[in-house]
Amino acid sequence: MKVFISADIEGTAGIVHWDEAERTHADWTEFRALMTAEVVAACEGARAAGATEVVLKDAHDSGRNLILDRLPDYVRIVRGWSGHPDAMMFGLDPGFAAAIYTGYHSKAGSEGNPLAHTSNMRISRLLLNGEVASEFTINALCAAGYGVPSIFLAGDAGICSEARAMVPGLKAVETLEGTGRAAISISPAWSRRLIREGVAEALSGDFAQVLPAQAERYELVIEFNNPTDAYRAGWYPGAYSHGPRAVAVKHADFAEILRALVFLKV
């Protein structure tokens, strides 16, 4: 059984400030260790449920956050960014039994995490078929395109609630809840225990049908903070204006939405 893990940092237990998430700050050293520990807990849970191989995408910022020497020997890791449209899910293919998400966070425009965002800080909101979308929204649909179910997520309370609603049957561990610029978090040790047990339970159940609903056609709208970013993105083939500072594209194939996102969001 092959399992895929997409690991972010802004939903890691205890995190509250950008200094803790950015590699240029001293605080990052502590929180990359906490991010790594949650990932290791997910790997251990997968192994306990019978996983023979775990492929891990370091999916935060530079893609070079996890402390490699702390990873189990049955793990393969994808570091950096290839430019492939799968982005935070790069390395996934139809041969995987399930996708797991750690350190995930609330979407741009929400108040569930002081570090809430979608993709990057140039985007004020990202909408898919009229609904404000998170990174999990995009990534779970990417996985579904390969027929791979998303079965477990650890992150802030906002993204856990969204993930459960989008993927009925998904199990989630709430690591923290944001209030303004503050966050109330469970302890890292407790988070690791819940992640380890939650992943093992999720993989031991009947998860084959745990897939998000897919649409016949998709409209992606990116609302930028700056109108100059919208102007530049508007030159993408097939893109069109969608109001002030916003650009949209439509396609029946979600893979083409992912392809467009690569070029529109930069």
We report the CATH number of the domain holding residue 29 as 3.40.50.10780
The reply to whether 129 falls in a domain is no
The reply to whether 211 falls in a domain is no
> Which of these three, 157, 177, 204, is where a domain ends?
204
User: Is 261 found in the same domain as 197?
Assistant: no
Q: What does the alpha-carbon distance between residue 200 and residue 49 come to, in Å, rounded to a whole number?
A: 5
Q: Are strands 98-104 and 75-78 parallel, antiparallel or unpaired?
A: unpaired
The reply to whether 213 falls in a domain is no
Render each residue's pLDDT in the chain as its tens digit; 266 residues. 999 999 999 999 999 999 999 999 999 999 999 999 999 999 999 999 999 999 999 999 999 999 999 999 999 999 999 999 999 999 999 999 999 999 999 999 999 999 999 999 999 999 999 999 999 999 999 999 999 999 999 999 999 999 999 999 999 999 999 999 999 999 999 999 999 999 999 999 998 788 999 999 999 999 999 999 999 999 999 999 999 999 999 999 999 999 999 999 98
Proportion of the chain above pLDDT 90, given as a percent: 98
Q: How many domains does the chain have?
A: 2
Strands (DSSP E) found in the chain: 2-7, 53-58, 75-78, 98-104, 123-128, 131-132, 150-155, 171-174, 176-179, 182-185, 218-224, 240-241, 246-251
The reply to whether 125 falls in a domain is no
> Which of these three, 173, 204, 235, is where a domain ends?
204
User: Is 228 found in the same domain as 198?
Assistant: no
User: Is 114 found in the same domain as 69?
Assistant: yes
User: Is 154 found in the same domain as 38?
Assistant: yes
Q: What does the alpha-carbon distance between residue 162 and residue 170 come to, in Å, rounded to a whole number?
A: 11
pLDDT of the residue at 208: 79
Q: What does the alpha-carbon distance between residue 249 and residue 75 come to, in Å, rounded to a whole number?
A: 37
User: Is 91 found in the same domain as 12?
Assistant: yes
pLDDT of the residue at 262: 96
Cβ of 155: how many Cβ atoms within 10 Å? 31
User: Is 232 found in the same domain as 147?
Assistant: no
Taking alpha carbons only, the member of 98, 50, 53 closest to residue 72 is 53
The reply to whether 194 falls in a domain is yes
> Which of these three, 157, 176, 204, is where a domain ends?
204
pLDDT of the residue at 209: 80
| Structural domain containing residue 191 | 2-118+135-204
User: Is 227 found in the same domain as 181?
Assistant: no
Q: What does the alpha-carbon distance between residue 64 and residue 204 come to, in Å, rounded to a whole number?
A: 31
Angle of CA points 82, 84, 87, to nearest 5°: 85
